Amino acid sequence: MDRVNELARILWDYLKLNHDMKKADAIIVFGNHDVLTAVRGIELYQDHFAPLLIFTGALGRVTEGVWEETESQKFSKMAVSAGIDRKAIRIEDKSTNTGENIIYTKRMLAEENLPITSVIAVHKPYMERRVYAALRCLWPEIDVVVSSPQLSFADYLKALTLQGFSERHTIEMMVGDFQRIDLYAKNGYQIPQPMPQCAEAAYHELLRLGYNKYVIG
């Protein structure tokens, strides 16, 4: 397992962008199975990084059949419980993937005539690069920084196990998201990203070790 964690850490260091935070028009929290994502979005709102907090997402590949409410609804309830005024919250609860998260949220804001020129996108740590690349492709006119739960790789693995997700599950998710960095850029869903040789090598070794549950094809 030490070798697996070493390889996964290489992917983690590549996928996590570590942007410096700056104020924006809105914080967009992307739905997924990790409630710490919502916690991070709430923290950023409470620290006055943006006046609007948006939750986007229906049910995804991990939460479908497990959660009784959509990811965005669950996360928004957490925000209200944390004392955030409902008037500062928007919910988009129809999207089922990252591209739809962006497209449907953009459409919702246009319908409300809310002028958004900058956002903080909040996702899982290993989704930072992919959500950034997708936003730059599908919503190129806005300024974007990304954020995620502020935990080290080791602490994040532990935090997910407390939510019922094994270390293997989290690493398999990372492997799948690494593949999508290249694959989705080729399909026009994201802007291309540099691919370090060390990260590619780690990815292929993890595949050889059987960490392929969320790989496409």
- Give per-residue pLDDT as tens, 131-190: 999 999 999 999 999 999 999 999 999 999 999 999 999 999 999 999 999 999 999 999
**What's the maximum distance between 2 C-alpha atoms anywhere in the chain?**
51
Pairing of strands 118-122, 143-147: parallel
Q: Which of the four pLDDT bands, split at 50, 70 and 90, describes residue 66? A: confident
Output the pLDDT for position 82: 97
Q: What mean pLDDT do residues 200-213 have?
A: 98
> What's the predicted TM-score (pTM) here?
0.96
Q: What mean pLDDT do residues 38-63 have?
A: 96
- Tell whether the model's pLDDT for residue 62 goes beyond 90: no
**Could you give the CA distance from residue 129 to residue 146 in angstroms, rounded to a whole number?**
8
CB distance 134 to 102 below 8 Å: yes
- Tell whether the model's pLDDT for residue 217 goes beyond 90: no
Q: What mean pLDDT do residues 57-64 have?
A: 88
Q: To the nearest whole percent, how much of the chain has pLDDT over 90?
A: 94
Output the pLDDT for position 60: 85
Output the pLDDT for position 15: 98
Q: What mean pLDDT do residues 43-54 have?
A: 98
**Could you give the CA distance from residue 216 to residue 122 in angstroms, rounded to a whole number?**
24
Q: What mean pLDDT do residues 5-21 have?
A: 98
- Tell whether the model's pLDDT for residue 25 goes beyond 90: yes
- Tell whether the model's pLDDT for residue 1 goes beyond 90: no
Structure token digits, residue 31 = 């739905």
State the average pLDDT for the chain: 96
CB distance 44 to 136 below 8 Å: no
CB distance 149 to 36 below 8 Å: yes
CB distance 175 to 49 below 8 Å: no
Q: Which of the four pLDDT bands, split at 50, 70 and 90, describes residue 61? A: confident
Output the pLDDT for position 198: 97
Question: pLDDT tens-digit profile of 82-129?
Answer: 999 999 999 999 999 999 999 999 999 999 999 899 999 999 999 999
